[in-house]
Chain A
Amino acid sequence: MKSLKNHLSVIFPLFVLLFSIQFSFLTNKIVEDYSRKLTRDYSIVIVASKTIDKAVLKSRVKGIKSIQEISSKKILDRLKDNISSKNISLLKIALPKFYSLKLESFPDISRIEKIKDRLLKSGLVSKVETFSKTHTKIYRMFMLLKSISFLFAAFILIVSVLLMFKQMRIWLLEHKERMAVMTLFGAPFWMKSAMLYRLAIVDSFISTIFVSILYSVLPFMKEVNTFSKSMNITIPTFDILKDGGTLLGISLVFSLFIVSIVISKMNRE
């Protein structure tokens, strides 16, 4: 019972630590996926007096994925009833060319400004509409989400590491007598501390398994599905090899590092 309690005291902070780290990864993936979707929908409208050579514009302004001309036919059709056909023909000649510009990736605020600036300086464009207000709102929301998840992970990390330090000191005190007896018979350092390292490794595996199960099940939960559909986001599935491996690596690094620090501190004392 005592041993189980000891294990849980390390498994729990490790579990929380891995949970928050994976949550942070997951948020990043969702944000990336969502920004890809937004990139598909987001476009900049440019106005030019003459027909634009798309290749030239692409070479002058980097990051443009595609340039599509917006037909002026719809505007002119609406005006047909009020204006004479002669004036319509004149308007057709005088009307500037409109283009919809798609970007390769979802830009941040400064990049939008740069693109706008380059477009205007290209000599081919007379006006640029970036719809930056709407864009900025969404972009800032994403950044906030990313920052919150990062801060959350960092905070949890600190608390978990402190909890693990505390528990491993307790482990060490429990094993101190055994280590002292082993020292009397000339046991090397690795042999005396093997027990603690073994405990740390076992607990790392257990906590990784728990977190992996949780995140594997998560995308298939009814509530999560409903939420993701309503938000138009996709919850990425948990890759046992890639994600599980990363989590195991992180938990091993943390737990073994903490055991080493605690043992070396005791040796110095």
Chain B
Amino acid sequence: MEHVINAENMTLAYGKDEPIITEASMKINPNEFVFITGKSGSGKSTILKSMYGELSPQKGVLDVCGVGIKNISTSKLNLLRRYLGIVFQDYRLINEWTVEKNVMLPLMIGGFSKGVCAKQAHKLLKHVKLLHKADKYPLELSGGEQQRVAMARALAHNPVMILADEPTGNLDEYSSEVIWDLLKNAKEHLGTTVVVVTHHIPSTLGIDYKHYFLESGVVYEVS
């Protein structure tokens, strides 16, 4: 697989509405750290949605991990998503499940045994320094802690790529730093490709990254 993401002249639109992204081309290589920035409403999250198959391109080509997203079948999409880790600004944890079970989710979907799931969840929770809260429920945690749980969940199944939509948007400075460290570690130590949609690129990241900028529906690669 040459590119984790390969978009060529991709146009994205919701239904029959005006296109939000027009003729965008992007190439993201394995183990790259990529930022997608732009003003509010510029279509950053729309691009990310297309990358996890929530939105199919109206025109052009979009391949994720070598799989064409256009007209993809549900079963193929399910399979593709098992290689992705997704993080959202609003965490999207299952509030009725414990922290541990939330982290176990991608592994359960992957068909791993309960023992394996629990072991991996403990490892990840230790990594995000929340092992002591494994039995708590998401709503019993702070925003920063919830996002760390979401990060642990995204990393649980060693995904090929992490897609993060404003992962630090709701967090204080300290929690944001923790999340950036976790994303950086995923790239450096696990070889994961990381794509982050954000308003602001942290100045203290300390790694090489690729930067795409969105304006008026057009994607520019910032050198």
Interface size of A in residues (CB-CB distance below 8 Å):
13
Instruction: Tell me the minimal C-beta distance from B192 to chain A in angstroms.
Output: 16
Q: Are B105 and A186 in contact (CB under 8 A)?
A: no
**Does A140 sit within 8 A of B, measured CB to CB?**
no
A264 to B29, CA, bound (A): 38
Among A97-105, A131-139, A165-173, A177-185, the stretch that binds chain B is A177-185
A112 to B74, CA, bound (A): 64
A183 to B77, CA, bound (A): 10
Q: Are A181 and B77 in contact (CB under 8 A)?
A: no
Answer whether A184 and B78 are a contact pair too, CB < 8 Å, given A178-B96, A191-B109: no
A21 to B96, CA, bound (A): 36
Chain B residues with Cβ below 8 Å from A182 are 105, 109
Q: Mark A9-39, 1 if CB is under 8 A from B, else 0.
A: 0000000000000000000000000000000
B67-86 residues with Cβ-Cβ distance < 8 A to A are 74-75, 77-82, 84, 86
**Does B205 sit within 8 A of A, measured CB to CB?**
no
Q: Are B94 and A185 in contact (CB under 8 A)?
A: no
Please classify how large the interface on chain B is, using the bins under 10, 10 to 19, 20 to 34, 35 or more. 10 to 19
**Does B52 sit within 8 A of A, measured CB to CB?**
yes
**Does A187 sit within 8 A of B, measured CB to CB?**
yes
Most buried by A among B80, B82, B94: B94
**Does B92 sit within 8 A of A, measured CB to CB?**
yes
Q: Are A185 and B96 in contact (CB under 8 A)?
A: no
Q: Are A181 and B78 in contact (CB under 8 A)?
A: no
Chain B residues with Cβ below 8 Å from A186 are 77-82, 84, 106, 109
Q: Mark B87-112, 1 if CB is under 8 A from A, else 0.
A: 00000111010000000011011000
A175-231 residues with Cβ-Cβ distance < 8 A to B are 177-178, 180-189, 191
Instruction: Tell me the minimal C-beta distance from B157 to chain A in angstroms.
Output: 8
Chain B residues with Cβ below 8 Å from A187 are 78, 109
Q: Mark A249-269, 1 if CB is under 8 A from B, else 0.
A: 000000000000000000000
Chain A residues with Cβ below 8 Å from B80 are 186
Chain A residues with Cβ below 8 Å from B92 are 180-181, 184
Instruction: Tell me the minimal C-beta distance from B103 to chain A in angstroms.
Output: 11
Q: Are A185 and B105 in contact (CB under 8 A)?
A: yes
A178 to B105, CA, bound (A): 11
Instruction: Tell me the minimal C-beta distance from B99 to chain A in angstroms.
Output: 14
Instruction: Tell me the minimal C-beta distance from A92 to chain B in angstroms.
Output: 93
A31-89 residues with Cβ-Cβ distance < 8 A to B are none
A181 to B52, CA, bound (A): 13
Most buried by B among A178, A182, A186, A187: A186
Chain A residues with Cβ below 8 Å from B81 are 183-186
Q: Are B105 and A181 in contact (CB under 8 A)?
A: yes
Chain A residues with Cβ below 8 Å from B84 are 186
A191 to B111, CA, bound (A): 11
Q: Mark A143-186, 1 if CB is under 8 A from B, else 0.
A: 00000000000000000000000000000000001101111111
The chain A residue with its CB closest to the CB of B94 is A178
Chain B residues with Cβ below 8 Å from A188 are 75, 78, 109
Report which A residues bind B (CB closer than 8 A). Answer: 177-178, 180-189, 191
Sample of 12 A–B contacts (CB below 8 Å): A180-B92, A182-B105, A183-B81, A184-B81, A184-B86, A184-B92, A185-B82, A186-B78, A186-B80, A186-B106, A186-B109, A187-B109
Kindly list 10 other residue pairs between chains A and B, CB separation below 8 angstroms, not including A184-B52, A184-B92: A178-B94, A181-B93, A181-B94, A182-B109, A185-B106, A186-B78, A188-B75, A188-B78, A191-B108, A191-B109
